[in-house]
Structure 1
Amino acid sequence: MKKALISVSDKTGVVEFAQGLIKNGFEIISTGGTYRKLQESDVPVIEIDEVTGFPEILDGRVKTLHPKVHAGLLAKRDNPEHMKTLKELDIDTIDLVCVNLYPFKETISKPDVTTPEAIEQIDIGGPSMIRSASKNYQSVYVVVDQKDYEDVLAHIANNGDANYRQLLAAKAFRHTAQYDSIIAGYLSRLNGEEFPDVETLSYDFQQPLRYGENSHQKAAFYRSSLPSKYSIASAKQLHGKELSFNNIKDADAALRIVADFEEPCVAALKHMNPCGVGVDDECIYKAWQKAYSADKISIFGGIIAFNREVTAKVAEELHKIFLEIVIAPSFTDEALEILESKKNIRLLTLDFTEAKNADKHEYVSVMGGLLVQERDTVVDSIDDFEVVTEKQPTEDEIKALLFGQKVVKHVKSNAIIISTTDQTLGVGAGQMNRIGSVKISIEQEETGDKRLPLVMASDAFFPMDDCVEFAAEHGVTAIIQPGGSIHDQDSIDMANKYGISMICTGRRHFKH
């Protein structure tokens, strides 16, 4: 009679699966809690120590780590010497293993979990059985996912072939690789290893995408096995069609911006650059008005992120324009009713209180490799600034400079922001030279309503004084930049010539 060894942490559907195996001529062997579950459900089952002749020991740490288990899994059925050895040692073959592992990921995701509690959830026997069964997939079924139970039973009933068992084996090795990856990451973090000699990352398939950046590119979205609660992967979609590749990237960029603001903030994104950012001391509606009026053209088809609840008053304004995504901590019932009348708009919610706990590192793929770095989460402080000009900035100019500095680090370099105290007025992004970005931002600013103070933020130093001169000629009264150019003094002299103030931060914010 064929034998199946079942040992599962998550027992969902295991009784029905075992019953199905019995109907297909299998004898069931089991361990610990799974054995008790099957026995209580009147499923005929043999306890593992009856097979091994050895009791479970060390609080269950050792139970399936035995030659009678692994020889029964690994023996080649078409190898006479293997089968002779099994007969001489009174070992039966095991034809199916059903295992899902101790809940290590779920355990370390709990608040205040201790290291000993986590360590006890590192499964040893389970991965060993999975690997043995997977290596011998020509003869053995290995099942690690409850979603496969019904399909496995159907294949067994129809004398399933080795190709199917190979698919199960590949899935099983992915399962153990992910499991080990999560454990390795946890232990590395405990040791403070920021960049270990081997980086093992784990991602779960989230959804297929219609296409990638362009319609001829295939694409899919994978979610980190331990995603931050403040991430697009953790967002809940309330309305609208599935997110596209570009939607996901833009939404991620929007979340990074609003995470830097404690006051009510709205960021409008287009092609991963902000086209408008507005803040207000108290009112999210006013913050929205500022973000929208910053660039009423580019916002068309854009992504909007709010760090406060979207109200009906805001929703009525959003309803008037074409938007791809609105993401916020929540929507009032009235706001949802207004926005859900638009078929194609996507509405997402997210726990914004977790912004401070977002992922520390970011990963960027290149052909043949992976770049890893800390996210640029620094919010520059006025305590670190140096006024390098004769003119001192006013209090309002300082407020405007701090606002612009928060936004500029989220703009593709070369990056320039023209702003006032609570609103971007011009965005110059991704130009090959800095003066080009300055001219774009000034041109955009001049198409709107003039607001004072008018300041400029730059993500990196000015290689020449032309940027300062152009800005001063067009009404900019204060500039913030990191400094560090061999020609810094030229820019300082130009600022002094026009009687404007300049602050150097000593820290650049390139974003490529």
Structure 2
Amino acid sequence: MTKRALISVSNKTGIEEFAKGLVELNFEIISTGGTLKLLQDAGVPAIAVDEVTGFPEILDGRVKTLHPKVHGGLLAKRSEASHVEQLKANEIDPIDMVVVNLYPFKETLAKTDVTHEEIIENIDIGGPTMLRASAKNFADVTVVVDPTDYNQVLADLEANKLDEKKRMELAAKVFRHTANYDAMIARYFMGVTEEEFPEAYTVTYEKVQSLRYGENPHQQAAFYKDPQEKGMSLATAKQLHGKELSYNNIQDANAALEMVTEYDTPTVVAVKHMNPCGIGSGESISTAFKRAYDADPISIFGGIIACNREVDKETAAQISELFIEIVLAPGFTQEALDILTVKKNIRLLELTMDKDNKDYYKFVTVKGGVLIQHSDDGEVTEEQLTCSTKRQPTEEELVDLLFAWKAVKHVKSNAIVLAKGNQTIGIGAGQMNRIGAAKIAINQAGEQAKGSVLASDAFFPMPDTVEAAAKAGVTAIIQPGGSKQDQASIDACNEAGIAMVHTGMRHFKH
């Protein structure tokens, strides 16, 4: 018995071979436009859809398949007698398979200088309609949206194993596919209409890889990417060497990337558990690495290294002396690769570090919902600082204060960072009170705290942190200000001869 397949694809990969396979399995092929021409040129017997509908394509191809003789053939229940009778009464033949993929909306968005009109014309209407109709009627219709499924579908047809369960799986893929497609369109229109947080927020991600496990071995996990991501991200990174990334690797590497791109000068960040354990800047990337290492030579073990300059031979030689999980950078010299790839498991990631693409939305799931916010891209310049103390910071202290402020932004709250000479020397992270974080940072810095500066991610509710800093030899402090008790901390600074500047901006990181 002859069956009918309607084929209309934008991505024509493998379609000739698939269509020929269907013909060999006694399928009649219906097609449209460019797909029809391709099949006929390849010697595949195929008829135009307008021969089925008795109605021509109109409106520059906007209307081709939106016709009862197509959708009646797709949606009719073969087991429903009234449906079968209606098909006969209206001279509609059933369609048993639909092979459709959609206009390249994502690819159109990615084009340089693409116009709004071109984007609109690449919103597919007939394709999603046929896909959804076929998927709804999976009990009777096989629907194929993914070219990677062609071979398996042919094999199942030949073996008479394309049962309802497999058709349901293909239908489920269709609904994921059309949901993904519509989400990208909705996101585009959100940008055009400047609706930042609409009444319904639809997002879509595409799978990059399955992960061995999540944060812990008993948790399953996978990595998905934003299908419209073009800029700086782990999703666009090129892995040059090493074993697959884990869930925790990706989390830490993303944190390291966000930190290192705060700095314009050659900088290296070492990260453990999404907190920096050492940050160093210098005139060269090798000097920056030495400072990051010296900041905490213990915690860097098993950590993530991010460099905002190409990794050279000298830097690679230093890294090779340590156990490091990942090195990510905008590039590696061949000499650096020769050194680092000797280590079998170290992951080397190459990616752009274009700061123009920093801003993005952050999603945090809570039970039954999700929180959405802009990423924290708040920055301050020297001109935006206000000094609240009698003593003004020196130029050298100002450089270190801004260096420390960029670092503390990426430390879990409550957060305190001590820095000196383009290097972090003490980091207190994730404490339940601010003085606790300060004590950890000061203790880590030890004697180096003398002459250093201190950054706090939020204001001081009382003067105890200033008093501890003064005792340790800190000479300047940067903090948001804004506490009702600001004056107590200002008085403590004045008494100790410490310069203190306010940013007017806090950097809580939960």
Shared fold, TM over 0.5 = yes
SS in 2 for 1:303: strand
What is the deviation of 1:249?
A: 0.2
SS of structure 2 residue aligned to 1:380: coil
Which of 208, 211, 218 pairs up with 1:209? 211
Amino acid aligned to 1:489: Q
Cα deviation, 1:33-69, whole Å, max 9, x if unaligned, reads 0001001111100011100101111110000000000
Aligned residue identity for 1:244: S
SS of the residue corresponding to residue 484 of structure 1 reads: coil
Counterpart position of 1:259: 261
Say which of 472, 475, 485 aligns to 1:474: 472
Which residue of 1 is the match for residue 369 of structure 2?
A: 369
- CA distance in structure 1 between the aligned counterparts of 2:376 and 2:440, rounded to whole angstroms: 25
- Matched position secondary structure for 1:51: helix
2:183 counterpart residue number: 181
- Asked if 1:106 is matched to 2:107, the reply is yes
Task: Give 1:144 deviation, angstroms.
Answer: 0.4
Q: Are 1:330 and 2:331 an aligned pair? A: yes
Aligned residues between the structures: 508
Which whole-Å CA distance do the structure 1 matches of 2:406 and 2:451 have between them? 17
> What amino acid sits opposite 2:457 in the alignment?
D
SS, match of residue 122 in structure 1:
coil
SS at match of 1:426: strand
TM-score between the two structures when normalised by the length of structure 1: 0.98
Deviations 1:473-503 (CA, angstroms, capped at 9, x unpaired): 1010000000111111110000011111111
Query: Structure 2: where are the runs of 5+ without partners?
Result: none
1:453 deviates by 4.3
Q: CA deviation at 1:15?
A: 0.2
Q: Pairwise mapping of residues 265-344 of structure 1 onto structure 2 (< 5 A)?
A: 265-280=267-282, 282-344=283-345
Tell me which residue corresponds to 1:417: 417
Q: Distance in 2 between matches of 1:300 and 1:439?
A: 23
State the Cα deviation string for residues 263-288 of structure 1 (Å, max 9, x = none): 111100000000011112x3111111
Residue 381 of structure 1 and its aligned partner are, at CA, apart by 1.5
- Partner of 2:61 in structure 1? 60
Deviation at 1:348, TM superposition (A): 0.4
Asked if 1 retains the 8 angstrom alpha-carbon contact of 2:389 and 2:493, the reply is yes
User: 2:408 corresponds to which residue?
Assistant: 408
- The code of the aligned residue for 1:287 comes to A
| 1:197 alignment counterpart | 199
Deviation at 1:365, TM superposition (A): 1.3
| Local SS of the residue matching 1:327 | strand
In structure 1, the residue matched to 2:462 is: 464
Question: What are the superposed Cα offsets for residues 224-280 of structure 1, whole Å, 9 maximum, x if unpaired?
Answer: 121242111111111111000000000000010111111111100000000011112
CA shift at 1:357, angstroms?
Answer: 1.1
Quote the residue 1:384 is aligned against: 384
| Residues in 2 aligned to 1:355 and 1:404: alpha-carbon distance in whole angstroms | 19
Question: Take 1:214 and 1:165, find their aligned partners in 2: how far apart are those partners?
Answer: 35
1:395 alignment counterpart: 395
Letter of the structure 1 residue corresponding to residue 386 of structure 2: E
* Aligned-residue identity in percent: 58
State whether residues 449 and 472 of structure 2, in contact with CA within 8 Å, keep that contact through their aligned partners in structure 1.
no
- Give the secondary-structure state (helix, strand or coil) at the position aligned to 2:43: coil
Structure-2 residue corresponding to 1:230: 232
Q: Which of 491, 495, 498 is the aligned partner of 2:496? A: 498
Provide the secondary structure at the position in 2 that maps to 1:229: coil
* 1:165-194 deviation per Cα after TM superposition (whole angstroms, max 9, x unaligned): 000000000000000000000011111111
2:450·2:474 contact (CA, 8 Å) conserved in 1?
no
Q: Secondary structure at the match of 2:30?
A: strand
RMSD: 1.0
Contact 1:403 1:421 in 2 (8 A): no
**Using the alignment, how far apart are the partners of 2:89 and 2:345 within structure 1?**
69
The Cα of 1:158 is off from its aligned counterpart by: 2.3
Q: Quote the Cα distance in structure 2 between the aligned partners of 1:362 and 1:259.
A: 17
Q: Is the Cα–Cα contact under 8 Å of residues 4 and 26 in structure 1 kept in the other structure?
A: yes
Give the direction of change, closer, same or farther, for the CA distance of 1:36–1:264 in structure 2 (3 Å limit).
same
Task: Return the offset for 1:507.
Answer: 0.8
The structure 2 residue matched to 1:509, chosen from 503, 507, 510, is: 507
Q: Does 1:488 align with 2:486?
A: yes
Looking at structure 2, the residues matched to 6 and 338 of structure 1 have their Cα atoms a distance apart, in angstroms, of: 52
Q: Which residue of 2 aligns with 1:19?
A: 20
Cα contact 1:416–1:437 (8 A) shared by 2? yes
Provide the rounded CA distance (Å) in 1 between the counterparts of 2:60 and 2:30: 19
Compute the displacement of 1:355 (Å): 2.8
Query: Aligned match of 1:172 in 171, 174, 186?
Result: 174
Find the counterpart in structure 2 of residue 358 from structure 1: 358
Structure-2 separation of matches of 1:228 and 1:483 = 37
CA shift for structure 1 position 25: 1.1
- 1:298 & 1:121 partners in 2: Cα distance? 51
SS in 2 for 1:348: strand
- How many angstroms does 1:442 deviate by? 0.6
Task: Answer yes or no: is the 8 Å Cα contact 2:280–2:292 preserved in 1.
Answer: yes
Mapped partners of 1:384, 1:317: distance in 2 = 38
